[in-house]
A and B are shown apart, each in its own frame.
Chain A
Amino acid sequence: MDNPLTLKQRALIFASFAAAMILAIVPLPESIQLLRPDWAALVLVYWCMALPERIGVGSGWVLGLFLDVLYGSLLGEQALAKAALAYLTLRFTLRLRMFPRWQQSLAVGTLVALSDLMLIMIKSLVRGHPPLWSDTAPMIANVILWPFLFGILREVRRRAKIS
C-alpha cells in the first residue's frame, strides 16, 4: 500500500473492534438485551467504508470468528455473516459514501440486516431455532445508532490521521 499505517493507528483500529466486541458481550438485562445493536457489525462496516483496501472480507471473517467464540455460538456462523457483510459493504462503499446520513444509515441497516438474516437462517437450519419477530429489534437499533457511531468513528479516524 502507498502509506502503511503506523503501529499506533493499527492499534486504534484494533481497539475500536475490541470495544465493539466488549459492548457486544456486556451483560444486559433481558429487556434491553433485545435492543442491543450489533456493535461489531457497525464498526466493521465503518472501517470497510473508510479503509476498503485494508479492512475487508478477511478481517470480517476473523472478527466473526472471535464473536463466535465470545457468544459461544456455532464456530463459523458469525464468521460467515461478518465476511458476507464485509463483502457487501465493499461492493457498495462508493455509493454508501455518497448517501446523505439518514439514507446511509438505512442502507447500512439493510446490509447488516441481510447478514443477520443469514445468521437466522443458519441458526434455524443447524440448530432448529425458529426465526422470531424479536430478531428484528437489533436491526432497528442498528439504524438508529449508525449516524452517531459514524460521527464518532470518523472523528477518531481524522484525529489519528488514518486514511
Chain B
Amino acid sequence: MRRPRGLLICGKRMGTFLGWSIRRPSNLTKLVLVVCASVALMVADSHNDQGTRVIRDTALRASYPLQELAALPFAVGREALKSLRTNTRLRHDNVRLKAENRRLAVEASQAGALRAEVTHMAALLHGAPVPGYRVSLARALDVSSGPFSQRLTLDEGARDHVFLGQAVIDAHGIVGQVVSVGPHTSQVMLITDPDSGIPVVSERNGLRAIAFGTGMQDRLKVPYLTVTANIRPGDILASSGLGGIYPPGYPVARVVEVTSNPNLAFLKIRAVPLAHLSYHTHVLLLWPRNAPKNQGLGHG
C-alpha cells in the first residue's frame, strides 16, 4: 500500500484559495456542493435553459474526438462491407448486362427486318390506300383555330404538286381541303371552318345532307334537314363525293344531337368530326388517279 495516510486526515490538510490559507474542503463538503450543482443543472436543463445549452455545446465540442473514435471501427467496417457489396453488385450487373446485350443484339436484327417491312408498307400506302387516289403524308406546321377560321398549314406546296381544292384526310376521317398553295407550304381549311361545307350521306340510310363548320373544333352543324328527315344521334355521316372535291364514302362526322323545334321548319343537328383535328401532326394529301383538275374551292 502506497499511501497509508489515507483520507481520514483530509479535513485537516491545508490548501490555498485566492491567496488565503484555508482548510481544504472535505469530501462530504464537496459532495454536497456538487449535488447542489447537479440538481441546479438538472432543473435548468429540464426547462431547456440557455446556459445549460452552452455547457452542453461546449462539452460536446470537447468530446467530439471521443465520439469520432467510437464511431471509427464501425465506419471502417461499413466501408469495407460497402466495397464488398459493390463488388458483388458489379459482378451481378456484368452478367445481367451481358445477357441483355445478347437479347438486344437479337432484337436489333429483328428491328432491321421490321424496318424493311415498314418501308414496304409505306410503299404500299403510297400505292393505294383510298381507291382511286394516290396519297402522301404531310406534316402540319401550324394550326390556327378560332371562331372565324380553322386552318392548318402543311409543309408541302406547289413544288410537291399540291393543288387548290385538294382533299386532306387522316386515318379517322376527312380533315379538310387545300385553300391556298405556296411554293413549299399550303393552307388547309378544316371541315370545322365556318366557311366549310361538305356534302355527306348518312351511312345508315343514304340521306343526303351538307355538314357545315361552326368555328368550333369539335362541332359541325347539319342544317336544311326537315323535321321529317330520318336522322338520329349516332348516325355516321360519310362524304358523298358530290362536287368532286372530297373522296366519296370517307367518314366525316357522327351525329350527336338532333333537336326538333316545332316553330322551325328545319331540324337542329349537331355532329362531331371523326378526324382527329386537334391531335394529329400528320395528315394525308389525296391525289385523284386521273390528272388533277383545278377545281375552284367552294362548298362542293
A147 an interface residue at 8 Å Cβ cutoff?
A: no
Which of A26, A61, A74, A97 lies in contact with B45, CB distance below 8 A? A74
Which size class do A's interface residues fall under?
A: 35 or more
- Closest partner residue, chain A, to B29 (CB atom): A57
Complex contacts, A84 vs chain B, CB 8 Å: 31, 35
A interface secondary structure, majority: helix
Task: Kindly state the separation between the CA atoms of A66 and B67 in the bound complex, as whole angstroms.
Answer: 11
Which size class do B's interface residues fall under?
A: 35 or more
B interface secondary structure, majority: helix
Q: How many A-B residue pairs have CB under 8 A?
A: 100
Task: Kindly state the separation between the CA atoms of A163 and B30 in the bound complex, as whole angstroms.
Answer: 23
Known: A52-B6, A80-B39, A163-B3. Contact between A57 and B63, CB under 8 A? Answer: no
Contact B55 A27 (CB under 8 A): no
Contact B30 A56 (CB under 8 A): yes
Query: Could you tell me the distance in whole angstroms from the C-beta of B7 to the nearest C-beta in chain A?
Result: 5
In the complex, which of the residues B31, B35, B46, B62 has the most CB atoms of chain A within 10 Å of its own CB atom?
Answer: B31
Task: Kindly state the separation between the CA atoms of A93 and B11 in the bound complex, as whole angstroms.
Answer: 16
Contact with A along B182-206 (1 / 0, CB 8 A): 0000000000000000000000000
Contact B74 A80 (CB under 8 A): no
B84 an interface residue at 8 Å Cβ cutoff?
A: no
Complex contacts, A69 vs chain B, CB 8 Å: 56, 59-60, 63
Within 8 A of A (CB), among B50-69: 52, 55-56, 59-60, 62-63, 66-67, 69
Within 8 A of B (CB), among A48-102: 52-53, 56-58, 61, 64-66, 68-70, 74-77, 79-80, 83-84, 87, 90-91, 93-94, 97
- Using A65-B55, A75-B42 as known contacts, list a sample of 20 further A-B pairs with CB atoms less than 8 Å apart, ordered by residue number in A: A21-B66, A22-B66, A26-B74, A57-B31, A58-B34, A70-B63, A74-B46, A75-B41, A75-B45, A80-B34, A80-B39, A80-B42, A83-B30, A83-B35, A83-B38, A84-B35, A93-B6, A93-B7, A126-B46, A163-B3
Interface residue ranges, B against A (CB under 8 Å): 1-3, 6-7, 10, 27-28, 30-31, 34-35, 37-42, 44-46, 52, 55-56, 59-60, 62-63, 66-67, 69-71, 73-74
